[in-house]
Amino acid sequence: MFDTLSTKLESALDRVKGRGRLDEKTVDATLKEIRLALLEADVNFKVVKGMVERLREQLVGEEVSKALNPSQQVVKIVSQELERALGGPAEGLNLTGKPAVIMLAGLQGSGKTTAAGKLAALLKSKGRNPMLVACDLQRPAAVEQLKVNAQRAGVHVYAPVTSGDPVPVARESIDKARETGCDVVIVDTAGRLGIDEELIAQARAIREAVDASETLFVIDAMIGQEAVNVAKAFQDGVGFDGVILSKLDGDARGGAALSVREVTGKPIKFASIGEKLDEFEAFHPDRMASRILGMGDVMTLIEKAEATYTEQEAASAEEALLSGEFTLEDFLQQMQMLKRMGSLQGLLGMMPGMSKQLKDVDVDDKQVARIEAIIRSMTPEERNKPKVLNGRRRKRIAAGSGTTVTEVNRLVKQFEQVQKVMKSAAKMSGQQGSKPPKGKQGRQAQAAALRQLQSGMGGGGGAGGLGGFQGLQPSPKRGKGR
């Protein structure tokens, strides 16, 4: 996610790290690198110009020169400017109306139909009862895709067999929603290869027919600034309330995300971060700014965990982390829960300080499966007491898991390192041998343990490298074919 932009911005900020004071020469050199990084990411020129001017104004001001740690102040100011460019405070959906109607628009191939299914799944997880409506009638494949998405999301779909005018279909869907008890209607409209009068007229007619409470324009994040120009044309012709950024997990340069608010005046409300139905999330500019600067996104990580874990699983995981008695059985359960949260590469990227370490490696989920196979080939005694693993047992485990003795040895060694960190973290939080605290105190103790764990895994960027993740056998990244 914005890997190139993130790397270049971090490189620019490395200039000021560790400095006792900032001189104008250092500020100029840093701003030049930031400006080039943004332009190469295809960010709108006016957006870049305004951002650099505001950064200069603040970086040469008294606030930075008098700060005890100027480098930290610089990172904070750059983060605030990125957040401002990304849209400021997060904005939610307007779901007024019975039913509330959300209309999706966008160019052909932007990921609109997929976004409709993901949005429906997200709303359903929030307790809503959505219905998908097929109004892209010129493309039968789009109608079929919407039906498949509805089935996968477990929501209603209205897709009558017709190739005629989509406006009556959109109007009829409101009555169908009321009949079936659906409280949100998501209308998937037709796309074009470009903005033309026919598209504008049709979108305007559908919007008026259903009295949409929210119109969202879907932008392909991989296209960059050009997609924002298309959105501006649609805004001038029809108008919309917010943006969905699709394909944010690909080779997105950042131009669309950092330009859309300034160019259209409309916020990014959602981002599609993968191919799976649940890889779709509300867009938080402050969190995205933090990710771009390599500072992680702990809040989203916590929210994913809360949405994935049951209360019992969360309590069990917390107790295992803070008690100091962390076994391979606990490790296996943690990995299974992590798999439910999404791709491991994405989750690790949300951890502070991990983006640099993951830059040149691919953490493949198949490697996680190999670790699972090794642990599952152990007896309950071996999982709880790895010290009993002699040479004969390790050879048996390797044969049973389809791996090698070397891989088994590597996993056991890395686990022992993690176990030591866990015990140390438990001692630091004062919870060894006692029941973990609940509520805010418990979360603070858990955060302290996780910070210690990250430090023990080389999270500080030192010689430890990936440390505890070496057992995943990361392989060098290869160029993507798209």
pLDDT for the residue 467: 36
Q: Could you tell me how far CA 439 lies from the centroid of its own chain?
A: 26
Q: Which of 447, 448, 452 is nearest to 421 (CA)?
A: 452
Q: Same domain, yes or no, for 68 and 117?
A: no
The token duo for 167 is 């406006």
pLDDT for the residue 181: 92
Q: Same domain, yes or no, for 409 and 451?
A: yes
Q: Same domain, yes or no, for 72 and 137?
A: no
Residue 409 lies in a domain: yes
pLDDT for the residue 396: 94
Q: What is the pTM of this model?
A: 0.68
Residue 147 lies in a domain: yes
- Residue 159 sits in a domain whose CATH number is 3.40.50.300
pLDDT for the residue 336: 74
Q: Same domain, yes or no, for 64 and 110?
A: no
Q: Same domain, yes or no, for 80 and 181?
A: no
The token duo for 203 is 């979108």
**How many folded domains does the chain comprise?**
3
Residue segments in the chain with a per-residue pLDDT below the cut of 50:
358, 361, 431-441, 443-482
The token duo for 128 is 């809503």
Residue 422 lies in a domain: yes
d(CA 296, CA 291): 5
Q: Could you tell me how far CA 124 lies from the centroid of its own chain?
A: 19
Residue 481 lies in a domain: no
Residue 250 lies in a domain: yes
Residue 43 lies in a domain: yes
pLDDT for the residue 286: 83
Q: Same domain, yes or no, for 41 and 132?
A: no
Residue 92 lies in a domain: no
Phi then psi for 213, rounded to 5 degrees? -80, -20
- Residue 82 sits in a domain whose CATH number is 1.20.120.140
Residue 94 lies in a domain: no
Q: Same domain, yes or no, for 53 and 175?
A: no
Q: Same domain, yes or no, for 411 and 291?
A: no
> In the listed set 295, 325, 354, which residue is the last one of a domain according to the structure?
295
Q: Same domain, yes or no, for 431 and 464?
A: yes
pLDDT for the residue 81: 87
Q: Same domain, yes or no, for 356 and 270?
A: no
Range of the domain at 218: 100-295
Three-state SS letters, the chain: CCHHHHHHHHHHHCCCCCCCCCCHHHHHHHHHHHHHHHHHCCCCHHHHHHHHHHHHHHHCCHHHHCCCCHHHHHHHHHHHHHHHHHCCCCCCCCCCCCCEEEEEEECCCCCHHHHHHHHHHHHHHCCCCEEEEEECCCCHHHHHHHHHHHHHHCCEEECCCCCCCHHHHHHHHHHHHHHHCCCEEEEEECCCCCCCHHHHHHHHHHHHHHCCCEEEEEEECCCCHHHHHHHHHHHHHCCCCEEEEECCCCCCCCHHHHHHHHHHCCCEEEEECCCCCCCEEECCHHHHHHHHCCCCCHHHHHHHHHHHCCHHHHHHHHHHHHHCCCCHHHHHHHHHHHHHHCCHHHHHHCCCCHHHHHCCEECCHHHHHHHHHHHHCCCHHHHHCHHHCCHHHHHHHHHHHCCCHHHHHHHHHHHHHHHHHHHHHHHHCCCCCCCCCCHHHHHHHHHHHHHHHHHHCCCCCCCCCCHHHHHHCCEECCCCCC
pLDDT for the residue 79: 86
> In the listed set 252, 278, 295, which residue is the last one of a domain according to the structure?
295
> In the listed set 269, 295, 321, which residue is the last one of a domain according to the structure?
295
- Residue 359 sits in a domain whose CATH number is 1.10.260.30
Q: Same domain, yes or no, for 129 and 242?
A: yes
Q: Same domain, yes or no, for 437 and 452?
A: yes
pLDDT for the residue 7: 80
